[in-house]
Amino acid sequence: MSNITLPDLPYAKDALEPHISAETLEYHHDKHHAAYVNKLNELLPGSGLEDKTLPEIIKATAKDDSKQTMFNQAAQVWNHTFYWNCMTPTNGGGEPTGDLKAKIEEDFGSYDKFREEFKNAATSQFGSGWAWLVADKVGGKLSIAKTANADTPLAHDQVAVLTCDVWEHAYYIDYRNRRPDYVDTFLDKLVNWDYANAKYKGQDAGVEE
């Protein structure tokens, strides 16, 4: 029987300071993320999905209204794990690197244009949700997406490359209602381009697909 576990953060809770506080990560990871894991494990017995992986659970429940609660928990477990890995305490943010740099310039025209579109998606998402850099599975074309609540690119057969969590609990302790400032800091100081490159290339970088 599958037992979904809460992954450790890929860095210490104070490692992203002063940009994101240890207090935020304590609540966000240890409370919110943990609660999704615990709820999902409560829902799995008797569902017929007990032996499935997390991505399989997400895909099996995404379009089934009777399993909306399970989808929400599973997708939020996956989204959060992905988000933690999208940030790094070392040389984060700014211009992209590697193959992804050239691909962003090809598909958006420039990094500045990508940054503008990503920030707009993150700041214009009404209520809770996520901003994503995604790639088509065929051809690899990059685009910006935003999803509400727990929705995730896995439910839409897209490859997630980068995400910014814009639920209020991701930033309210540190930024209050200043979501644009939080998004600027994420892009300029925190993005883990090594991780994004690995996801774009289809490598296993810590989050199962």
- Per DSSP, 139 falls in state T
Residue with tokens 């962003």: 104
Domains, the chain: 22-85 (1.10.287.990), 98-200 (3.55.40.20)
Give per-residue pLDDT as tens, 150-175.
Answer: 999 999 999 999 999 999 999 999 99
Give per-residue pLDDT as tens, 53-107.
Answer: 999 999 999 999 999 999 999 999 999 999 999 999 999 999 999 999 999 999 9
Residue list for the binding site:
28, 80, 165, 169
135, two tokens: 């790639």
For residues 95 and 112, give the distance between their C-alpha atoms in angstroms, rounded to a whole number.
Answer: 9
User: In this structure, are residues 170 and 31 in contact, taking their beta carbons and an 8 Å threshold?
Assistant: no
Residue 1 has pLDDT above 50, yes or no: no
Please give the sequence-ordered ranges of beta strands (E in DSSP) within the chain, or none if there are none. 129-136, 142-148, 158-165
Where does the pLDDT of residue 3 fall: very low under 50, low under 70, confident under 90, or very high at 90 and above? confident
Give per-residue pLDDT as tens, 105-151.
Answer: 999 999 999 999 999 999 999 999 999 999 999 889 999 999 999 99
| pTM, 2 dp | 0.96
Residue list for the binding site for Mn(2+):
28, 80, 165, 169
